Amino acid sequence: MNRVAKLLFFPLLPLLCLFLITSCFESSSPSPKKPENLELRKKLTDLQYRVTQEDETEPPFQNEYWDNHEEGIYVDIVSKEPLFSSKDKFESGTGWPSFTKPIVETNVVEIVDNSYGMIRTEVRSKKANSHLGHVFDDGPKPANKRYCMNSASMEFIPKSKLKEKGYGNFLSEFSESEKNK
């Protein structure tokens, strides 16, 4: 390889590797796609629709996953893109499911939310643009993140159903945790 080609190619090598790894990782999950609005109204409950499409918040301590302690992953209720792992879930005392980090960082988008006279960081799913909740800097160390999510925006896939539902690539997350017990 000549010197000019090396100067052009080698700086791009890490980006190329990252792209290939991300592409392989994403392609091993079900292909997420956002249905049309009318289809969503039929598919989702009224609460799920209001939370994901109209940016509402469900009541604390009165939602499906705030006290779920089963192993598995949480996916977007609309697109089925993987969002969070039970390994990263913690008791925040808020009444909503809280996580220290996303299971696939590229599947969540963080944007500034100035509603209700506050400055917060809203969390949305990348492919479906579903409103998921907000992220705060008062979580556990080391990252101090608390992804405070709405149960209505997610579906829980138990560890025992990951392979069956097309998320078998996430089984290794839980195999490692069992080895460390």
Residue 41 corresponds to which tokens in the numbers above?
């109204």
Domain membership of residue 87 (yes or no) is yes
User: What pTM was computed for the model?
Assistant: 0.78
Domain count, the chain: 1
Domain membership of residue 42 (yes or no) is yes
Return the active site residues.
148
Per-residue pLDDT tens for 13-66? Answer: 554 444 444 444 444 445 555 667 888 999 999 999 999 999 999 999 999 999
Per-residue pLDDT tens for 72-96? Answer: 999 999 999 999 999 999 999 999 9
Domain membership of residue 164 (yes or no) is yes
What's 40's domain CATH number?
2.170.150.20
Domain membership of residue 12 (yes or no) is no
Domain membership of residue 9 (yes or no) is no
- Is the pLDDT confidence value at 136 over 80? yes
80 CB contacts (<8 Å, ≥6 apart)? 29, 30, 32, 155
Which range marks the domain in which residue 114 is found?
34-179
Short-list 138, 66, 149, 51, CA closest to 107? 149
Domain membership of residue 83 (yes or no) is yes
